[in-house]
Structure 1
Amino acid sequence: MRIKAFLFGLAMLGAVPGVQAQEQPLRLVMNNELQTLDPVVSPSVVTRAFASMVWDTLVAPDSQGVMRPQMLEGWEISPDRLSWSFKLRPGLEWTDGTPVTAEDCIASIRRWGARDGLGRQLLEATSSLDATGPDSFVMRLNRPFALVLEALGKTATLVPYMMPARIANAAGTTQITEIVGSGPFVFRREEWRPGDRVVFYRNARYRPRSEPADGLAGGKVVHFERTEFVSIPDHATKIGALQQGEIDYIERAPLDFIASLRRDRRVVVTPGRGGGEVMGALTFNHTIPPFNDVRMRRAAQQAIEQSDVVASTGLPPDMVQQRCHTFYMCGTPYATEAGTEALKTHSMDRARALLREAGYNNEPIVVLHSRDSALIDPITLVAVDQMRRAGFNIDLVSTDWSSVAQRRTNRSPIGQGGWNVVPLVWTGFDMPDPIVNPAMVYNCANVYPGWWCDQRQVPLLRQFSEEPDPARRREIAAQLQALAHDHVNVVLLGQFAGPAVYRADLRGVLDVGFPVLWNIRRERR
């Protein structure tokens, strides 16, 4: 009844006489519910989508992956590349009307860097970070670091969004409580109804760059006064709402609807390739039994047959990879076969032998299942079935993503709300190389749920961050992958497209791997 009433309300709003198409809100359905607003605390992709609306970054990648100035006017680099001088572009304001300053940026970088894997690497290489004026600051390095701009323009979670210093300094590593943005939209907290809708308005104080939008770089021009993330958990209902024009955009098209949506002229299905492709993964709690034993993780690794997992999505053949065992996504520059020999043919017999070697005694394995996720739900059910056939005693806890996101941060034993396995999906946007890949960069960082630590990987991550030569970087990435498979940081479930779908009357939609709602216009009828 709540869904029907919600859709009736949307229809009535759209039917108000005299309301022009461009004045109607732009409505997006996210794959998961927004729960946490702080992008430094939560690695959730819905939090990143929220954050990209209300905060901006110093630099951003264009569609070719080249880092361009965003909040910055520009930068200068010393000949030895150990000193970076940054200048903010003029006219930047927070949504409370105060100017953006260099001190704000320094505080934001330090807060983000305390938690993010790449950010920690950058701060460890930084000897000082000081304001040289109200709109300029300098970063001095204590050793070579080849990825300064890549860090400051990072798009994989956690993203270094800029916040006021008073908020960043006060919050530290705890969640922020006040949302004061620097981006193209204003979050209306008083209109936020969790489980129903998140409301944004165009930020009248925001000054877009003059360049055309290109990837995540360029001008973030907003053409709608009001934009909403709306909640419609039922897949058939959200598709019906899209087809009838009651919503405009679905972040992840329900997979079993793709074939029919491709034939519907009212909508556009994105290719879901590149940054929009998805890798499923089993993440383990490495800190408590039984997956603190690598033999148990290797047993799960042997139990998984990726072709069966990706088949569960129901996607057309051109949207799945039958097998992909690279941590960097197949078809990308860093893709490698290193360390994959034992994975190319899965073996239930080998999985069962490893369980016996580990002394597994049929203890329940708590698996947190996000049944409301169009992507996570089907692959979880197949992966769990494969683990059961190998001999794991699975206790499947089926709930919504918001509950999973909360519980997966719990490091307690099972009896106190802990967990053993959480199936997730990561986008290609998050996995292109080891220094941003969540399955690698958080190694021994003790901040990412799963909390794995392989000391062999630590120096290689540092070497990758310092290495300027692309060929040598690829070699280091291959070594890291071999170790990650050997240690079983996570088990890869397979790679497949994760297309979005939106109304065909929208123009200017940027397909960057996650939804961004600037640059979009609605065609007048």
Structure 2
Amino acid sequence: MMLTRRQGFAIAGAALAIPRLALAQSRDRPFRLVLNVGLQNLDPISSPSFVTRNFAYLVFDTLVAMDGQGRYHPQMLQGWEASADKLTWTFKLRPGLAFHDGSPVTSEDVIASLRRWGNRDSIGRRLMAATAELTPAGADGFVLKLSRPYGGVIEALGKPSVHVPFIMPARIASATPPAQPVSEIMGSGPYVFLRDEWVPGERTFFRRNDRYVPRSEPADGLSGGKVAKIERVEMITMPDIALRAASLQQGEVDYLEYAPVDNLPRMRRDRNIVISQASGQAEMMYGVSINHTQPPFDNVLVRRALQQCLDRTEILAGAGFAELGRPDCTSMLMCGTPFSSDRGTEAIVRPSLDRAKALLREAGYTNERVVLMHPLDSALLNPFGLVLIDRMRRAGFNVDVQGSDWSSIAQRWVQRQPLDRGGWSVLPVVYTGFDMADPLSNLGIGFNCTGNQPWGYCEATLTPLIERFEAESDPAQRRELAAEINRVATEQVTFPIAGQFRAPAAWRAELKGVIDFGFPVVWNIERG
């Protein structure tokens, strides 16, 4: 039975109205996780959305996983061996891996999944382009032979965020183009998706996967033993931000992906609430997804005018992150990470609306309509969008604001339509350091000239720099190349950044084993 949005929220309200005493007495009650936005697309390869990534970590598993210190470990793999020249890599799956329908995970499934991911993801594409052969070695092994040096094979297979190389059955991965959502969700992860109970955009349900065999090592970040200690999980969307905070404080939900900033002082005084302290790569960066494929943003001068609208101090303050932000950070590769650089950022140290107006005049801008998709239901993106709209209009842009929920916007975002047929020009977005800190995964660098993401940028001078970085193994040379890449991408405005900040999660103190990683990790959690 399909539910309307109003009916879905009515059900949500009824569920959350359970008396706190009854909830507290039941250690077996579902784990309720409140996400920032609603879930529509279930496929982590076709969708570049965080909410889909969060969903997928419950349902799917990865070959390699990152721990809390940024190190990579075998996950679905038993291990690997590399030849002396690092051109041949042999991998073996660990025993006991099975999909939710009971079928074993085989090398055929792995190869099909990697090929589909490799046609979609920035790092995946580069790894596949450097691959001469990807072949099975029996049912539980496979061999990757490179045609040229590639400096980050294990890092690619352990990529932690959009797009993650999750493993799914070959019959699904081989039959579905990477930009098209899969029609069936079949993973091998610690939880099973209950599709019959799913209310798109509102509530998503899971049960523990009894077939899952976790690793023996302790859970650490995304690595180690993914022990599902809670029988049932519910992902909930609550558009009312104040209601999110109240529901956590009253014990009606267990975990907020993003704690409302205005409520943080009160939450810190509440001994029943724990606030995330994750930093470094777990920090986030505001940015603007620009449609480079059509006017007016096919003109670099217009893009630079938009770049001058991004006053990081005002944007972070408007979103409530004044104390949690780094407005002085101008690095596309995130400040406080190994490849951080301010090379080429002189023009954006002090953004200016007067400079934006001058650039628009220089570009010959004649009041062309700019469609700005505004995510109204996102606690992170709605306030950013309000500041962006105001400053773009003050600079002289003819901004057509089209507000909607994130789920609807995300579906429009990946389509290439002209403005009069539902197309778009700009979209406020946010990504973590897991996505931004490495040039090969950075949203404004790694997809250069691939035609494989919504914004469609292609800067010819970036291509040889990225290729040299990709093949380089010396750390000092990689840092130098990263700095030059940062310069070119910033000057060409592939993806203008708008402020780095820490957006903490919050959860109930009675939860034990919570992994403070930077995005929700549900395994290992139990009730005290």
Task: With the length of structure 2 as denominator, give the TM-score of the two structures.
Answer: 0.96
C-alpha contact (below 8 Å) 1:21/1:522 kept by paired residues: no
**Within 1, Cα distance between the matches of 2:319 and 2:278?**
14
Does residue 411 of the first structure (1) align with residue 416 of the second (2)? yes
Change over 3 Å in CA distance of 1:133–1:396 after alignment to 2 = same
CA distance in 1, matches of 2:68, 2:275: 19
Give the 3 Å change call, closer, same or farther, for CA 13–180 of structure 1 in structure 2. farther
Query: Match of 2:86, as an amino acid?
Result: R
Partner of 1:463: 468
Q: Does 1:445 align with 2:445?
A: no
Distance in 1 (alpha carbons) for counterparts of 2:333 and 2:477: 16
Question: Which residue is equivalent to 1:515?
Answer: 520
Deviation sequence 1:309-335 (CA, Å, 0-9, x none): 111122352x11122110111111111
Task: Give the equivalent residue in structure 1 for 2:55.
Answer: 50
Find 2:42's aligned residue among 29, 37, 42: 37
Q: Does 1:89 align with 2:101?
A: no
Tell me if 1:381 matches 2:381.
no
Deviation, 1:491, is 1.3
**Displacement of 1:10:** 3.4
Equivalent in the alignment of 1:111? 116
Question: In structure 2, do the counterparts of structure 1 residues 14 and 98 end up closer, same or farther at CA, with 3 Å as the change threshold?
Answer: farther
Give 1:95 deviation, angstroms. Answer: 0.7
- Give deviations 1:444-484, integer Å, cap 9, x for gaps: 11111111110111122121111111111111111111010
Distance 2:45 2:170 in 1: 14
Using a 3 Å threshold, how does the CA distance of structure 1 residues 504 and 222 change in structure 2: closer, same or farther?
A: same
User: Partner amino acid for 2:43?
Assistant: D
- Asked if structure 2 preserves the Cα contact closer than 8 Å seen for 1:210 and 1:218, the reply is yes
Q: Deviations over 1:118-177 (max 9, x none)?
A: 001001111001111110111111011110000001012000000111111111322211
Q: Distance in 1 between matches of 2:350 and 2:459?
A: 25
By how many angstroms is 1:349 displaced? 2.2
Greater displacement, 217-226 / 394-403: 394-403
Q: Which residue of 2 aligns with 1:289?
A: 295
Superposed CA RMSD in Å reads 1.5
Alignment of 1:256-271 (within 5 A): 256-271=262-277
Q: 1:365 to 1:475 in 2, by over 3 A?
A: same
Residue identity matched to 2:296: P
State the AA in 2 paired with 1:454: E
Measured after TM superposition, the shift of residue 273 of structure 1 is 2.1
Find the aligned partners of 2:385 and 2:37 in 1 and give their Cα distance.
16
Match of 2:326 among 308, 321, 337: 321
Kept in 1: contact 2:39–2:202 (CA 8 A): no
Map of 1:491 onto structure 2: 496
Name the CA shift for 1:204/1:463 in 2 (closer, same or farther; >3 Å): same
Retained in 2: the 8 A contact 1:22–1:223? no
Question: Does residue 156 of structure 1 match 2:161?
Answer: yes
* Secondary structure class of the residue paired with 1:439: coil
Match for residue 72 of structure 1? 77
In structure 1, what is the equivalent of residue 255 of structure 2? 249
Partner of 2:207: 201
Q: Aligned partners of 1:184 and 1:470: how far apart in 2? A: 36
> Could you tell me which residue of structure 1 aligns to residue 362 of structure 2?
357
* 1:443 alignment partner AA: N
Question: How far 1:14 sits from its partner (Å)?
Answer: 6.8
CA distance in 2, matches of 1:149, 1:195: 34
Inter-partner Cα distance in structure 2 for 1:359 and 1:82: 51
- Residue deviations 1:332-355 (CA, integer Å, cap 9, x gap): 111111111111122222211111
**Is the 2:20–2:250 contact (alpha carbons within 8 Å) kept by the matching residues of 1?**
no
In structure 1, what is the Cα distance between the partners aligned to 2:495 and 2:112?
A: 33
Residue segments in structure 2 that go unaligned for 5+ positions in a row: 1-5
2:339 touches 2:437 (CA, 8 Å); kept in 1? yes
1:339 and 2:344 equivalent?
Answer: yes
Q: Which amino acid aligns with 2:111?
A: I
Aligned match of 2:3: none
Structure 1 Cα separation of the partners of residues 107 and 67 of structure 2? 24
Residues 1:237 and 2:243 are matched in the alignment? yes
Q: Note the alpha carbon deviations across 1:404-463, whole angstroms, 9 max, x for none.
A: 101112211110111111010111221111011122101111111111110111122121
CA distance in 2, matches of 1:275, 1:152: 18
After TM superposition, give the deviation of residue 20 of structure 1 in Å. Answer: 5.3
1:22 Cα deviation from its structure 2 partner? 2.6
- Partner Cα distance (2:109, 2:298) in 1: 41
**2:511 maps to which residue?**
506
Residue 275 (structure 1) shift: 3.1
Relative to 1, partners in 2 of residues 1:223 and 1:72: Cα closer, same or farther, differing over 3 Å? Answer: same
**Residue type of the partner of 2:272?**
R
The number of residue pairs the alignment matches comes to: 521
Partner of 2:135: 130
- Alpha-carbon separation, structure 2, partners of 1:390 and 1:336: 28
Q: Secondary structure at the match of 2:496?
A: strand
AA at the equivalent of 2:318 = S
1:249-281 deviation digits (Å, cap 9, x = unpaired): 010112222222222222111125223321111
Is contact 1:302–1:348 with CA below 8 Å preserved after alignment? yes
Alpha-carbon distance between aligned partners in 1 of 2:231 and 2:386, rounded to the nearest angstrom: 41
Q: Match of 2:483, SS?
A: helix
| Structure 1: gaps spanning 5 or more residues | none
Listed one character per residue, the Cα deviations across residues 491-523 of structure 1 (whole Å, up to 9, x for unaligned) are 111111111011111111111111010000111
Which of these residues, 264, 274, 279, is aligned with residue 280 of structure 2? 274
The amino acid that maps onto 1:250 is: L
Distance 1:99 1:202 in 2: 18
Name 1:182's counterpart in structure 2. Answer: 188
Which amino acid in structure 2 is aligned with residue 86 of structure 1?
F
Contact 1:428 1:513 in 2 (8 A): no
Are the structure 2 counterparts of residues 350 and 196 from structure 1 closer, same or farther at C-alpha, using a change threshold of 3 Å?
closer
Q: Following the alignment from structure 2 to structure 1, what is the Cα–Cα distance between the partners of residues 442 and 11?
A: 41
Does the residue aligned with 1:301 lie in a helix, a strand or coil? helix
Separation (CA, whole Å) in 2 of partners of 1:469 and 1:126: 21
Name the CA shift for 1:325/1:36 in 2 (closer, same or farther; >3 Å). Answer: same
Whichever residue aligns with residue 507 of structure 2, its letter is: Y
